Amino acid sequence: MNILQVLPELNVGGVETGTIDLAKYLVRSGHKAVVVSGGGALVKDLEAVGAVHYCLPVEKKSVFSMLKLIPGLAEIIKKEEIDIVHARSRMPAWIAYFASRRTKTVFITTCHGYYSKHIFSFPMAWGKRVIALSNVIARHMIDDFGLTHERVRIIPRSVDLEKFKFSDPKAKRKTIFNVGIVGRITPLKGHLYFIKAMAKLAKNCPNLKIWIVGDAPQSKETHKEELQVLVKRLGLWNNTVFLGYQKDIPEILSQLDVLVLATTTHEAFGRVIIEAQAAGVPVVATKVGGVIDIIEDQKNGLLVPPADPSSMADAVEKIYKDPVFAARLAENAYKKVQEKYTVDLMLKNTLEVYQDALSNFKILIIKFSSLGDIILSTAALKAIRKKFPRSNYKISFMVSEESKEVLLRCPYIDELLVVDFKNKDRGWRGLMNLSSILRPKGFDISIDLQNNRRSHLLAFFSGILQRYGYDNKKLSFLLNNKIKDEKLAIDPVAHQFKLLNLLGIELKNEELELWPSQEDEEYINDFLSAQWLAQQQKLVGINISASQRWQTKNWPLAQLEMFCEELGRKDIRVVVTGTEKDASFAENLISSVKNAKIINACGKTTVNQLACLIRRCNVFVTPDSSPLHIACAVKVPVVALFGPTDYRRHMPVSKNCIAVTRQLDCSPCYKPKCKTRKCMETITVDEVLEAVDKLLNKA
């Protein structure tokens, strides 16, 4: 693997140390390690372990600077053939995210802080995998940034046990009692409360020495001066040393009797805690953020409320007065460090996250409507599943409320996402709301079988890296993997596979499928039994209406009446299907037919129940509509009546399917309304009967 880490700078700090440790491990494991930062004192250390460094001002908090740096970072990604871009800070994450999008590279983040819910923090939640240092940070990213649990990985910071050597607290206890605080001097680190606590402790600990290790950023120099004034005012000046920045932290810790972490806000982790524990130093820490993951109060350290100098002083005094208790805390802490916080374990877990991100993908198939088109997509679904097995791929299907029943028991998908464009998901607001729901799911690939403006926008706004669809001028510039929609006269399944060819999926099986339940089957058995249908009697189904909108597709009532009469003379039962809106039309048909006892199923079945009903038919007759596709899916011989639409583009390939059509000068017109409806009116009863007889005899 080729890994690129991006961070603001390479000066001293936990993020920087972790970056170098990871780079060293990657190189040692045979991978390429590349780092982009604004430079710093540790660049030489990084290059010494065999990593490559590029200096870019990614730390600058300027929108103009970020936009300017995206192409440059993208070029580095291409040049170094990067597989994963790993952002470790918010401002670089903006640049890294868009550079990753441009190069179609996997993007990962590590959350090193408890970020405020601010626009600049959001890219930290956009990684395919988001590494959190503690449970508190993971929960924060899930609750406040909308991450899904499956995208979060918890990997605590680590400590190098080669550098930090354990020393028994009892063995190093001397006449001087050394208490230290290590970290940047900022108000959030709680130095003010630490100093007040030390003033209280000094009354009962005459040999106290206070170590303040770390310096203030330039913007916090005034705060440092305030602390120095406070030390003098409390009479601690002779007991206290401000050591400033120290590179050799292991040496500092080897001389401390207690380390205090006084942070007043959520601490992402608290690396100095495990460094102290590795060195055998008992720890007193405020109960904030990720600290509670490390310290079990009274067992491997002491926890105190934040901004509470009195409790802090009491905890340190307890360790001072009870060396045996202090030693027990240190020993328990060291055991936990060995089990959970070693460098090798952190690096191993990080490498597993990389491998997981590169080998596990989430696919979103988009096909809202219509019902017939959903059924037509089942052949594609089976092929997609075969190409992308469950071991490494999760497949989700987005479908409309009206068509969801078709896929409820589909074995080829892992998740069904239902949208309702007529109500809650309508309009731009609904579209953006759907995008905000999809984005945290972290889909890698979208396969757009709907291919309209709404579906293209949805895939784009959902942040899906690889977006496949037809180039049909319906905002298809939002796709980054597309094929020209040439409107060829090919069947609908083959048309879908033209797109799937981009994913290396070939058309080998055009069979459609449906998955009705046992309850659906029993319902139809009871329904037909109530109609006194003899077990061996032949049954022909007739779908009397394509849809309310497409009246031009329907066979006229006069032909239907004559057709049913002829079937009745041949002792063939007839069942008519349709929706509730077709009920009055069905009643007119039934009342006008004398020689056939017609079973009326209009509006009396669900989609899956209709599939079971059609399966009981010996032949099914239908105009161009979803029941045509249902019949093909349940392998029932079907006579399809085509008028305003082209049967070559809408009829599934089937050995037992006969298309009856008229080739007029105006056909196919694809008009839902027509004054003459000549194409359907000129389809004769005799030719439909001939087709039915042919299929009955074939069976």
480 DSSP 8-state letter: S
User: pLDDT of 57-98, one tens digit each?
Assistant: 998 888 888 889 999 999 999 999 999 999 999 899 999 999
Identify the pLDDT of residue 50: 94
Q: Where are the domains of the chain?
A: 2-154, 169-341, 360-503, 518-698
Q: What percent of the chain has pLDDT over 70?
A: 100
Q: What is the pLDDT of residues 650-693, one digit of tens each?
A: 888 888 899 999 888 888 888 888 877 888 889 999 999 999 99
* Distance separating alpha carbons of residues 480 and 378, to the nearest angstrom: 24
Which secondary-structure segment (H or E) carries 203? none
Each residue's pLDDT tens digit, 112-165: 888 888 888 999 999 999 999 888 899 999 999 888 898 999 999 888 888 899
Residue 223 pLDDT > 80, yes or no?
A: yes
Residue type, 290: G
Q: In CATH terms, are 2-154 and 169-341 the same topology?
A: yes
- What b/e readout covers 139-168, taking b as 16+ CB neighbours within 10 angstroms? ebbbeebebeeebbbbbbbbbebeebebbe
Q: Which CATH number fits domain 360-503: 3.40.50.1820, 3.40.50.2000, 3.40.605.10, 3.30.70.100?
A: 3.40.50.2000
Domain 2-154, what fold?
Answer: Rossmann fold (3.40.50)
pLDDT at 473: 85
Q: Which CATH number among 3.40.190.10, 3.30.1330.40, 3.60.20.10, 3.40.50.2000 corresponds to the domain 518-698?
A: 3.40.50.2000
pLDDT band at residue 699 under the 50/70/90 scheme: low
Among candidate residues 214, 233, 234, 209, the one with its CA nearest the CA of residue 224: 214
The helix/strand/coil state of 138 is: helix
Alpha helix segments (H runs only) across 645-684 = 647-650, 678-681
Instruction: Return the CATH number of 169-341, one of 1.10.10.10, 3.40.50.1010, 3.40.50.2000, 3.40.50.720.
Output: 3.40.50.2000
Model's pTM, two decimal places?
A: 0.80
User: Is 80 exceeded by the pLDDT of residue 173?
Assistant: no
